[in-house]
Amino acid sequence: MVLESTVQRAILKFLNTIPNSDWVKPTTTNKAGWPDISGHIDGAAIFIEVKKDDKTKPSKIQEHVIDKLNRNGAIAFPCGSVGKCRENLRRWFLDV
């Protein structure tokens, strides 16, 4: 069984290879449903809700926060693998 923390580390390792980007995995948050990883590529705000695999869905509150972030101009999505993360980012950034 893969732990979500293992997936987070793999995704952060991938994200840190992307030029013109910065990423953070906050250790604590006081806002329910806030995504696990925050960052930017060329200044575009990106929020990633990490799941233990690509089949695991976000909770209702996580879905609500993701939708709200997207409605307000950020890029937010769930993913449970480096491959899915890359696939999502390529919708906005072709060279990822």
- The pLDDT value recorded for residue 96 is 87
What CATH number is given to the structural domain containing 37?
3.40.1350.10
Residue 46 domain flag: yes
Residue 96 domain flag: no
Contacts of 18 (CB under 8 A, 6+ apart): 41, 89, 93, 96
Predicted confidence band at 41 (pLDDT cuts at 50, 70, 90)? Answer: very high
77: domain range? 4-89
- The pLDDT value recorded for residue 30 is 73
Residue with tokens 């990106």: 46
Contacts of 73 (CB under 8 A, 6+ apart): 45
Residue 66 domain flag: yes
Give how many domains the chain has, as a whole number: 1
pTM of the predicted model as reported, rounded to 2 decimal places: 0.94
Residue 83 domain flag: yes
DSSP 52: S
Residue 64 domain flag: yes
